Amino acid sequence: MGSVNKVIILGNVGRDPELKYTPSGTAVTNFTVATNERWKDREGSQQEHTEWHRIVAWGKLAEICGEYLSKGRQVYIEGAIRSRTYKDRDGNDRTAFDIRADNVVLLGSGGGGSKSSEASRASDDQEPEYSDDDIPF
């Protein structure tokens, strides 16, 4: 049996996307999305937790996200979890987890307009081969 790495996020863009290009010219955009969870504790008090998700989009999808997403906009994202390792300022090995977006749906009117639109990775557009040196952030 195979395995599944699928993530669905529905939340609000936390900061304006950063559109950059790798040395080979491939577009890459990163941004954050906040999701909120609300519940009542045992005493009946309302509680809330915000989870922040780091999103990375590649190619044409990256260009669309860079153009149409903005802070506060509600967005629906489908993708997969990707891990990457790096060295922090003190030289310690660290691991970060990002969501590689495969499908992005712009919702509502927050941030950048009122029209709902959809952008998805073209079926023949594979994730590019890259090394950590290619990522501009």
**pLDDT tens, residue by residue, 54-92:** 999 999 999 999 999 999 999 999 999 999 999 999 999
Give residue 105's identity as a one-letter amino acid code. V
Number of domains in the chain: 1
**Lowest pLDDT segment from 37-51, 66-80, 98-112:** 98-112
CATH number at residue 99: 2.40.50.140
**pLDDT tens, residue by residue, 7-43:** 999 999 999 999 999 999 999 999 999 999 999 999 9
For residue 79, is it within any domain? yes
For residue 41, is it within any domain? no
Cβ-contact 32, 52 below 8 angstroms: yes
**Domain that residue 110 falls in:** 7-36+49-123
For residue 133, is it within any domain? no
For residue 1, is it within any domain? no
For the chain, the C-alpha Rg in angstroms (whole number) is: 17
- Structure confidence at residue 114 (pLDDT): 36
